[in-house]
């Protein structure tokens, strides 16, 4: 079975499931911080941290599911549908978007996130480029009805 899968499908399948597991654990940690009323997370002055870390969890989970969708697309339509550039862009986005939100929540300044937040828009742009490249190839391969 392993040899039948395109390399790009194997990569996104592995990383998608790994990421999903990691971001579910992150969600459990955030819930534990709530359950134990951790001041670092729940105090009034830490709304920005709470928002940034929640966004990191949500975006990481969603982008992990995107990796699984990319793997499925590569299996259904052939590995060539997901170009090397699209694969790399999607993986860069999968890392930078949640990491940017997480780092933005570590050192907050009043109501503003820390400098790490600047990674988030770079990750969003990379995700958009990767999704656009895959969408264009899928459009061509599947033709018009």
Per-residue model confidence as pLDDT tens digits over 53-69: 999 999 999 999 999 99
Q: What's the whole-model pTM score?
A: 0.94
The C-alpha atoms of residue 109 and residue 70 are separated, in whole angstroms, by: 37
Task: Check if the beta carbon of residue 11 is closer than 8 Å to that of residue 49.
Answer: no
Identify the domain containing residue 24 by its residue range: 2-138
- Of 120, 140, 122, 127, the residue nearest 78 (C-alpha): 140
| Domain membership flag for residue 145 | no
Question: Which tokens belong to 141?
Answer: 């391969």
- pLDDT tens-digit series, residues 27-47: 999 999 999 999 999 999 999
**CB within 8 Å of 18: residues ≥ 6 apart:** 64
| Domain membership flag for residue 108 | yes
Beta bridge partners of 112: 109
Total domain count for the chain? 1
| Domain membership flag for residue 143 | no
């Amino acid at each position: 079975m392993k040899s039948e899968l395109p390399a790009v499908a194997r990569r996104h399948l592995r990383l998608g499931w790994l990421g999903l597991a990691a971001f579910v654990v992150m969600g459990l940690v955030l819930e534990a911080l709530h359950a134990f009323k951790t001041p670092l997370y729940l105090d009034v002055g830490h709304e920005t941290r709470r928002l940034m870390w929640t966004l990191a969890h949500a975006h990481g989970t969603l982008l992990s599911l995107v990796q699984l969708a990319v793997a499925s697309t590569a299996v259904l339509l052939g590995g060539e549908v997901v170009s090397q550039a699209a694969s790399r862009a999607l993986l860069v986005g999968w890392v930078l978007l949640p990491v940017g939100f997480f780092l933005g929540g570590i050192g907050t300044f009043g109501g503003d996130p820390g400098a790490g937040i600047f990674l988030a828009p770079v990750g969003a742009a990379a995700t958009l480029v990767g999704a656009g490249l895959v969408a264009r190839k899928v459009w061509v391969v599947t033709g018009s009805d």
